[in-house]
């Protein structure tokens, strides 16, 4: 059996590396280039970068920072944030990014998924969906980094994303983000039952058991931020990654 993908997901804000809780109050945790160098040493298979800077809606992607990351990273990485048109997508692929992550832009313009897939193939196009579970247990899709609730019907939206040619889904549970108390396993089960697209779960990982639970619930891979950035009960900043032996144990998750 292939080892599931365990992916560090790093948030960018005005050029720095940050972490959030429930998508708010970004806390500076270091320099993204330094983080890439550490993950190079740890021989991480894949990285995700999501730019949450407010100015990305005005200025678009920070190409200089993306290029710096591409020049430093030994591993493939995906980038999302401020992508709103096909010209930007072409520029990002030219820089050397292996996958692009689309979110709010495809809520407004779903055809951007198929346009991107035609350029680089569906395997290089990831659609991210930010979801929050209400106190009643209802699931709602949000846009603009979780600041605006939409009226999207989740099942129809996912079916359309698959039809348009997305190669992967990144499901971000806003209500679990940064809490390190575990993934929303019911959410993973529900989404994975709706589509055949590989599902990457993010939001809530605090230990290896959480990763196992998410994979068993139906995730093709798991992404995390705080789990790879914070250490100990006082959450000291220490960028790390599980050992090869620890990751091999994830295969035996019965």
Beta bridge partners of residue 142, listed in sequence order = 130, 149
Q: Kindly give the residue spans of alpha helices, DSSP state H, lying in 96-201.
A: 104-108, 111-120, 154-164, 185-192
The owner of tokens 């010209």 is: 87
CB 146 within 8 A of CB 181: no
Q: How many CA atoms lie within 13 A of 106 on its CB side?
A: 32
Q: Is 38 left (phi over 0), alpha (psi -120 to 50) or beta?
A: alpha
Which sequence positions are flagged as catalytic? 130
């Amino acid at each position: 059996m292939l080892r599931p993908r365990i992916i560090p997901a790093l948030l960018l804000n005005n050029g720095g590396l940050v972490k959030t809780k429930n998508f708010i109050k970004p806390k500076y945790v270091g320099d993204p280039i330094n983080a890439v160098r550490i993950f190079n040493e740890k021989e991480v298979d894949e990285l995700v970068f999501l730019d949450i800077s407010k100015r990305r809606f005005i200025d678009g992607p920070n190409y200089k920072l993306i290029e710096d990351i591409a020049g430093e990273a030994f591993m493939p990485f995906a980038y999302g944030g401020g992508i709103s048109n096909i010209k930007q997508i072409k520029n990002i692929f030219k820089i050397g990014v292996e996958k692009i992550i689309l979110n709010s832009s495809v809520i407004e313009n779903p055809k951007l998924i198929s346009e991107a897939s035609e350029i680089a193939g569906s395997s290089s196009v990831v659609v991210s969906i930010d979801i929050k579970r209400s106190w009643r247990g209802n699931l709602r899709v949000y846009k603009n980094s979780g600041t605006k609730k939409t009226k999207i019907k989740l099942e129809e939206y996912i079916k359309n994303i698959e039809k348009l040619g997305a190669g992967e889904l990144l499901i971000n549970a806003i209500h679990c983000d940064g809490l390190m108390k575990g993934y929303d396993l019911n959410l993973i089960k529900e989404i994975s039952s709706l589509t055949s697209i590989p599902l990457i779960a993010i939001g809530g990982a605090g230990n290896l058991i959480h990763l196992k639970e998410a994979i068993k619930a139906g995730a093709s891979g798991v992404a995390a931020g705080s789990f790879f950035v914070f250490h100990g009960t006082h959450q000291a900043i220490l960028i790390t990654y599980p050992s090869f032996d620890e990751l091999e144990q994830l295969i035996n998750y019965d």
